[in-house]
Amino acid sequence: MPKCQNCEGHITADFIRVFGIDGEAHRCPACSTNSDLKEGAGARGDAEP
């Protein structure tokens, strides 16, 4: 099962496809706001919590 690189929470492959990059997601809805995810927090490793 895919996991968030930040909090290790469960995420789906579809979430990674939409919000991640290179098959990884650095943030998820459990550890980031939806607006931050929309701005690219899921793809960036440097996103603030």
Q: Which two tokens stand for residue 42?
A: 């899921």
Q: Per-residue pLDDT for 48 more than 70? A: no
Rounded Cα distance, 44 and 21, in Å: 8
Residue 9: domain span: 1-49
Predicted TM-score of the model (pTM) = 0.78
Angle at 21 between CA 15 and CA 24, to 5 degrees: 65
Strand partners, 10: 3
15-41 tens-digit pLDDT: 999 999 999 999 999 999 888 888 888
Q: How many domains are there within the chain?
A: 1
